[in-house]
């Protein structure tokens, strides 16, 4: 069985990109690095480690979706694409057994269009924000609706679904997976370690920007697939917009209303704590800390959603919201 092709994307990843390149050595037929306007040594580093280079032009906004799709198009135009393609972000490194495991699994199931595995954080102990990502990545194995950007895709399925949509700046992987499923393909998460990710978040502002980007993704993908983020959007708008407005109205007009709003937030917070304890098996102290951020995240989510609506109304470019 021939090796898959590998497309890795990045922008000013530095040492993280070096780890990614080293972990990918010998695991792919062709390794393509797609660079989104780096001004560090990323391109040189990728070339020195055997990657073919695709530099995105600056005539359109840089997005992860655009980088992945132009990487695929580059393979098509320069000799053709292998039967399977592994996508990976430049701030990750690949588990040494993942490529072989994923390729064997997807080869045996002709209806599978994509397989993914478990992603984990390299340094969850460095910050509360990294630790939250570590919990966020770990999801049950089996048939799934969508996954993150690290995935092995059947080239036939990629073409049939139309590839990544360069206009989608966040949750672009969810959006692509929606189209894969609608094209009739099965998506599977294997019970196997896949990649280790370096979120590199040490400041509250970074986490806030990332949460804004998530809200932008919720709203943009909703315009393309209204059924997909329905629950997430309801919670975002209720806890991030409606309740804050009711709280302010209570302060101005009827103070008991503000008390009821605070009680609603408290109940939601406690349910989140209990959910993390039950579903993620987190100890109480970790669940209490993570739930603060999860509860607060609805506000930057709404700000990101409003940014998307304003951009759409003005006909402005969907520019990437960067947090690092």
CA–CA distance, 210 with 307 (Å, rounded to integer): 14
Domain 5-198 CATH (choose: 3.30.420.40, 3.90.550.10, 3.40.50.300, 3.40.225.10):
3.90.550.10
DSSP per residue, 94-105: E-TTHHHHHHHH
CA 195/CA 55 separation, integer angstroms: 24
Distance CA 90, CA 54 (A): 14
**Position 251 pLDDT exceeds 80:** yes
**How much is the mean pLDDT over the chain?**
95
What local confidence, expressed as pLDDT, does residue 30 receive? 97
| Matching residue, tokens 């966040």 | 170
Residue 293: helix, strand or coil by DSSP?
A: helix
6 beta partners: 31, 86
Across the range 161-177, mean pLDDT stands at 97
Measured CA to CA, the distance from residue 225 to residue 252 in angstroms comes to 39
Q: Given this model, what pLDDT does residue 109 score?
A: 97
The reply to whether the predicted model has a pTM over 0.85 is yes
Domain ranges of the chain: 5-198, 207-314
Query: CA gyration radius for the chain?
Result: 21
pLDDT 10s digits, 84-119: 999 999 999 999 999 999 999 999 999 999 999 999
Q: pLDDT grade, residue 206 (50/70/90)? A: very high
Question: Given CA atoms 72, 196, 55, 210 in this order, what sign does their dihedral have?
Answer: positive
| Strand partners of residue 272 | none
Range with the lowest mean pLDDT among 131-140, 232-241, 298-307?
131-140
Instruction: Return the bridge partners of 143, or none.
Output: 188
Mean pLDDT score, 212-230: 97
What single-letter DSSP state applies at residue 125?
Answer: G
3-state secondary structure 237-280: HHHHHHHHHHHHHHHHHCHHHHHHHHHHHHHHHHHHHHHHHHHC
CA dihedral 56, 60, 62, 64 (to 10 degrees): -90
């Amino acid at each position: 069985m021939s090796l898959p092709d590998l497309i890795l994307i990045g922008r000013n990843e530095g040492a993280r990109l070096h780890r990614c390149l080293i972990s990918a050595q010998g695991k792919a037929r062709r390794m393509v690095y797609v660079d989104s306007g780096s001004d560090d040594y990323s391109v040189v580093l990728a070339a020195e480690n055997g990657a073919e280079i695709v530099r995105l032009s600056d005539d359109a906004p840089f997005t992860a979706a655009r980088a992945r799709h132009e990487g695929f198009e580059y393979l098509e135009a320069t000799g053709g694409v292998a039967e399977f393609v592994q996508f990976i972000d430049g701030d990750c490194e690949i588990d040494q057994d993942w490529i072989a495991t994923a390729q064997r699994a997807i080869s045996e199931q002709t209806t599978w269009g994509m397989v993914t595995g478990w992603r984990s954080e390299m340094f969850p102990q460095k910050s509360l924000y990294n630790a939250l990502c570590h919990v966020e990545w770990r999801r049950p194995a089996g048939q799934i609706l969508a996954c993150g950007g690290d995935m092995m895709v059947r080239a036939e399925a990629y073409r049939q679904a139309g590839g990544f949509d360069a206009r989608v700046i966040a949750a672009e992987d969810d959006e692509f997976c929606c189209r894969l499923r609608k094209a009739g393909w099965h998506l599977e998460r294997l019970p196997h370690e896949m990649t280790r990710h370096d979120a590199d978040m040490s400041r509250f502002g970074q986490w806030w920007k990332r949460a804004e980007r998530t809200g932008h993704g919720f709203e943009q993908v909703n315009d393309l697939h209204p059924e997909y983020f329905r629950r997430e959007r309801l919670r975002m708008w209720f806890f991030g917009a409606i309740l804050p407005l009711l709280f302010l109205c209570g302060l101005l007009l009827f103070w008991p209303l503000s008390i009821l709003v605070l009680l609603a937030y408290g109940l939601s917070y406690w349910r989140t704590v209990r959910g993390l304890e039950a579903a993620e098996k987190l100890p109480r102290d970790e669940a209490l800390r993570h739930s603060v951020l999860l509860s607060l995240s609805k506000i930057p989510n709404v700000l990101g959603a409003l940014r998307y609506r304003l951009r759409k109304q003005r006909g402005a470019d969907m520019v990437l919201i960067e947090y690092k």
